[in-house]
Structure 1
């Protein structure tokens, strides 16, 4: 297990280094001059030159990259256009989006896994067709339309939940959940549809496998056959989908946070792009890339837990 973890961690560090290069180059490729955004209405060439010098924009790109990476390794993501530490800004906004993503994953996984198991065990029956149809609708509905629909129904007409805003969890846990419930449902709907379809397919493969037929031949109960033997192998596919859907959740969070007025990581990204804030945008995108790497590493480790044979296959000869 230790060797497997070291190999995966080393590969994750290499991917993160390559991602930092892509992030740096991609941000520099954005149209527009950040010095003009920082200068505001002042277009004096000497002022713009001074701004470029202060932010290191007049240096060669390789030097800018090495300087930035050196600071990142020490935990310094620089300062934004407001002279505020980028790290502090990210730490302030990131937990909001992480909470939203966690609730969305929780909602999507519970609904998707449950519906997938029901559809697989009742293949060809009404519940199977109903679950598949609902999943198709969930995949087809845009986030912005579903968000507006839920606001009109639950906030305007029924007045059960607030239409938007955010309340910190430790300030009022109940009110926090009331504000986050609708956006979590919006994000989790698409995920639940994907998880349901993949779970159904994986469960059908598992239920037709030899080890399941052997378990039934031994006289094990249907609950034990489905809930223990077939479910464990099927969850590998679900773990993969959840890991791959992280990008969908982040991109969907940008739209969802705009609709529900949540000042999270998505709105921070939009603000950084609109203001041409290089330091803030680099920090935001780097954190997202690091999140991808960490999630994929956790997915690999979960693979090895659910199916120990993966560690043996991945081991060098």
Structure 2
């Protein structure tokens, strides 16, 4: 009856609003985070299996690589038994993985606990990579926003061309060029890193060159991403309406264009975290920086599987945390823009 009356009078029957409970949304977020973590944990486990198999395929082993001159075949055999190299690789991989949840990364070929070996080196790398990531975010957003104020202008074309050029240059090439110009030619900055007794750089000035070597290529890459995101957002109807209302270009950029482009920009910057950790291996070797790059180089030379796997596990965990945080930030920004 009520429905007929509403139809006859032309009124539109009220539709009850459906409001999702906050608790349900929270559980959905928790479930999604758990699924993402599980998927990336399985991916990391597969990568660690590849690491064990790859080191096994290299010529030589940890016993021969770390042996002293003049050791007999019996001595090498005893050392292989001590390091567990006479056991199948699958068995060694399972033993190492079983200790991973408790933080036990095994023992290096030199008899040192891998966890203690990385306790100092990995924080140094995180400081270097984190500083480079922060500089990359600031510089790329600033340059892209600056170029977006005058689309297709001289500044826009210059920023786009330079960002493409610097991204094409590998980190170690940038590192060598920085050493040549800022250290050997001018003497402004130290070319190598000296450490204190606690294993950290002796001076903050020793962080400048390796940080710049990591920042320059990733700034080029993220500037291109940010510029493209700003260009896409500038074509949105509400942005065009703001321009037609006569708002100043700077205000349109900061209040309308940039907030809408932030999810894409955040994803690009988060992706750079993995590239920065990978590039740190080469850059730290060039500057003798006391991070995981030097540790990993020595471990590869020594065929030291537990150390290589430990570095891989820590780097994978750090990248997973950064990417997960970026996903949550992107979802929050996207939801806030709706």
Q: Calculate the TM-score normalised by the size of structure 2.
A: 0.82
Q: CA deviation at 1:38?
A: 4.1
Q: Deviations over 1:129-170 (max 9, x none)?
A: 2211221221233333322222232223333222221456x9
Residue 127 of structure 1 and its aligned partner are, at CA, apart by 0.9
- Which runs of 5 or more structure 2 residues have no equivalent in the other structure? 1-25
Indicate yes or no: 2:150 matched with 1:122: yes
CA offset digits 1:245-275 (Å, max 9, x no partner): 2232123212211222212111111111110
Quote how far apart the aligned CAs of 1:122 are: 0.8
Query: 2:49 aligns to what?
Result: 24
Q: Which whole-Å CA distance do the structure 2 matches of 1:297 and 1:63 have between them? A: 32
Give the drift of 1:24.
2.9
Q: Identify the residue that residue 161 of structure 1 maps to in structure 2.
A: 189
Q: In structure 2, which of residues 176, 179, 183 is the aligned counterpart of residue 151 of structure 1?
A: 179
What is the total number of aligned residue pairs between the two structures? 309
* Equivalent residue number for residue 215 of structure 2: 188
Deviation at 1:42, TM superposition (A): 5.8
Structure-2 residue corresponding to 1:138: 166
Where does the alignment leave 5 or more consecutive residues of structure 1 unmatched? Answer: 313-317
Task: Determine which structure has more spread, i.e. the larger CA radius of gyration.
Answer: 2
Whether the 8 Å contact between 1:93 and 1:263 is mirrored in structure 2 is yes
Deviates most, 47-56 or 190-199? 47-56
Alignment partner of 1:273 out of 293, 300, 311: 300
CA distance in 2, matches of 1:14, 1:165: 38
**Residues 5, 40 of structure 1: CA spacing in aligned structure 2 closer, same or farther, 3 A cutoff?**
farther
Partner of 1:33: 61
Residue 22 of structure 1, CA deviation: 2.7
Please, which moves more after superposition, 208-217 or 250-259? 208-217
Give the RMSD, CA atoms, in angstroms: 2.7
Give the C-alpha shift of residue 80 in structure 1: 0.8
CA contact (8 A) 1:100 1:180 kept: yes
TM-score by length of 1: 0.87
Runs of 4+ aligned residues of structure 1 deviating over 6 Å after TM superposition are 170-173
Which of 93, 111, 118 is matched with 1:65 structurally?
A: 93
Please give the per-residue CA displacement for 1:192-216, whole angstroms capped at 9, x wherever unaligned: 1111111111101111101223444
CA distance in 1, matches of 2:145, 2:87: 58
1:84 aligns to what?
112
